[in-house]
Amino acid sequence: MLNPLIPMGAITGKPDLELITYTLKMFKKAGIEQYLIYPRSGCELEYLEDEWFDCCQNIVETAEKLGYKAIWLYDEFNWPSGQCGGKTMQHSKDFQLKTLHAKRNQDGSKSFEIVYNPKFPDLLNPEAVAFFIENTHEKYFQRLGKHFGTLIKGIFTDEPSPGYCGEYTEQSTKDTLKITWWNGLEDDYLAMTGRNLRDDLDHPDFQKNHSLLIGKQFRKVYFDPLRTWCDEHNILLTGHLMGEHTVSGSKRFNGDPLSSIAGFSLPGLDEISTRTTLDTIEWLTFATARYGIEANQNGGLAELFALGPADLPPARLRQMIALCALHGIDRYVMAVSQIDFRGNVGKPTWFNPCSDDQPWFTDNLEFLAHDARQFAKLTKLKRIPELAVRYPLDLVDINPLLKLLVSAQIQWHLINHDEQATDEIEVVNPSKLGFHLENANLTFKDPNDLVEYVDEYLPKQALVTNEDGTKANNIFVKSYSDGTIAVLDLHDEVLQRNLILNANGVKRHFTLYGRDIHIAYPWTIMRDRPNIARPTFETNETTLEVKNKLTVQFALRTYHDPASVSIDGQPIEIAEQEATLLPHGFQELYAISKPITLQPGTHTLKLEQGEDFKLVFMPPAWIIGDFAFTSPNVLDIDRHDGEGLDNFAGTITQSSTISIPLNATAIQLETDELFTEITLDTTSLGTRGWSPFIWNIPAPFRGKTVKIQIRRQTSIAPIFGKRELLDSILKRKAMFCVLPGKYPIQNPLVEPKFILF
């Protein structure tokens, strides 16, 4: 898998070929395979002129020679995108950002002025965006086009927005309302509402309508043309929005944030502050990016670490990468990887070099890259159905709700205000009236009450508790449809907690360290032979409920008291006179049928001849096949997860991936007192048949993620049915027989517990 760490290579000074070669070799030595070319403060080349493109060509060609797998371009000098380094605004006054200032006069009237801002481009003006594409994207293609779609993978657009104003952001005052403006806004507003915009500024729905119009125009004028251009040139449109961390800010900057983020083909986010605790994480920003990622199915990209501090511990870098991965992001841009530090003249407070200026970088980056690869694999898994939170039309602060959901271990995601819910377990619609649960038709004023209700009444895929049974705090839990469950610690300190993961009826003990992530990979549980089970004839008839279409065979008793059985009125025909699928001692005493396909539904078995209870351990019939007998008369597909195998007799082998703590000395199992062997990768740790069921862990495996295999061999007893069934048979016949003291397979799936020193 490609190393997902990408240096955000700030091109400072006037780097010649020798310096470029040194820089790219340095990153390659550290294991880097991708590079982003970033024109930033400190660059002394004339941006978008020949000397700039000469530098870019040297980077691309040198990277190709050194074996780099991906180069990413950046579409602006510094940020925000759309300026062409200032040329867009200089080309035409009409290309400058426009704001309508509505001043409230003392007599109650309003006076209006359209204000032009020469610091920012008007990204709601199609001609300005066309100028931007022609003078940036087209020029890159003219010089580097032969690498597009091969080495050059995409182009990064950074914080484009129609919401900038004044020194930085658009802000209204008590006397003056300032709203994002574009040529044609009043016509668009009239078409939407049937009302005049200038007369409607105090209407209670004005903000909603204005935001929706901004979002529609922004998507149509900026994102769609850029996306089309990138698609036509075989590269990805990546980057991120501005101000996603609050509803009010995101609507100001983006209008309709979820529509905007979905406009990227490779959506992303900016988290350069590296906030990794429950109260500081920008949950709405991550959820917005995740929405765009799920809409496009290409993965995602995050710009990370730039604000430092420069002594961020490696564990915190890893923690942030894991948080990104749990939101679908599989590429991690390390900012800022400047060639030298002259850019700090213009950006004096930004200093966290992601380069060999960090003494640990060259020798140790691969350790971080190894885990980043593992985390990125999680992004390919399908999520389970979750609670959905609608992006509100009102300016409602939903961050307290999102934090409460995370704290309660309730898994959730965003959907847009007008989006139809599909596989969600429930939908929360926030508004000024409260938090409405759409399916339950309940409204809560207080988000605490809503979360308490959801926590009690809606199903959970996983719950992490302390050893005393209380809910663990300061964690982020993510479950996937294949059974994988990730638990990320949200502390910013070194600590150790012994926790229990409760999922699918199984308790998994694990140790979680500060800033660490625990990934509980799913088990694959295989049998060495078909499943065999006895149908229970309490009378001469019994029923079988089949959940999914199955193909089975029946073995019928031929010895002493021969049995004949019909299914749904049709006789079960014998195909072979010896039942070779049964244990050897039964084979000559039973004959086997041809394969029979059972459709979903209820099927009736009738014992036409023979008796069920006279021969306790020689029932009249067996059912044989690759099924799970989930209860005495219910069959389903064997999903290889251990469910429904408690009546299986044979060898059960469970396989998974497991992370072994560095201070783990041994593995302990609840084996049901069966002969059990553990293998790590290809190394057998030996077989145990009696207590203590403890296996020492060889030192080379400690602190590693390895393949584990647990192989257990049962007795023959399970095929005869559960103890209650045998008790029932014997009581009816008043017979005495020695029964198993307990049912042999209490745990078709067993979980390792580490013994720590």
Average pLDDT, the chain: 93
pLDDT band at 731 (very low <50, low <70, confident <90, very high): low
* pLDDT(740) > 60: no
> Residue 174: its pLDDT value, please?
77
> Residue 93: its pLDDT value, please?
97
Q: Between residues 232 and 536, which one has the greater pLDDT? A: 232
Lowest-pLDDT range of 88-97, 233-242, 620-629: 620-629
Structure tokens at 301: 């990209």
Lowest-pLDDT range of 34-43, 117-126, 309-318, 645-654: 645-654
Structure tokens at 661: 């703590």
How does pLDDT run across 483-542, given as a tens digit for each residue? 999 999 999 888 889 899 998 777 888 889 899 999 999 999 999 999 998 888 878 999
> Residue 705: its pLDDT value, please?
87
Q: Between residues 633 and 263, which one has the greater pLDDT? A: 263
Domain coordinates of the chain in residue numbers?
385-459, 648-718+748-756
* Residues facing residue 301 across a β-bridge: 268, 331
* pLDDT(350) > 50: yes
* pLDDT(734) > 70: no
Give the whole-angstrom CA distance, residue 612 versus residue 536.
8
**For 406-411, what is the mean pLDDT?**
97
**For 150-164, what is the mean pLDDT?**
97
DSSP 99-136: EEEEEEPTTS-EEEEEEEEEEEE-TT-HHHHHHHHHHT
> Residue 481: its pLDDT value, please?
92
* pLDDT(220) > 50: yes
How does pLDDT run across 440-464, given as a tens digit for each residue? 999 999 999 999 999 999 988 899 9
- Please report, for residues 62, 86, 124, 398, the alpha-carbon distance to residue 206 in angstroms, rounded to integers and kept in the order given: 54, 33, 19, 20
Give the position of tokens 């040529």: 183
Other Cβ atoms within 10 Å of 445 Cβ, number:
10
Orientation of helix 283-296 relative to helix 247-254, angle to 10°:
50
Give the whole-angstrom CA distance, residue 106 versus residue 685.
86
Selection from 161, 151, 120 nearest residue 37 by Cα: 151
> Residue 662: its pLDDT value, please?
79
Give the whole-angstrom CA distance, residue 720 versus residue 723.
9
> Residue 170: its pLDDT value, please?
57
Q: How much of the chain exceeds pLDDT 70, in percent?
A: 96
**For 582-586, what is the mean pLDDT?**
96
* pLDDT(422) > 90: no
How does pLDDT run across 681-695, given as a tens digit for each residue? 999 999 999 999 999
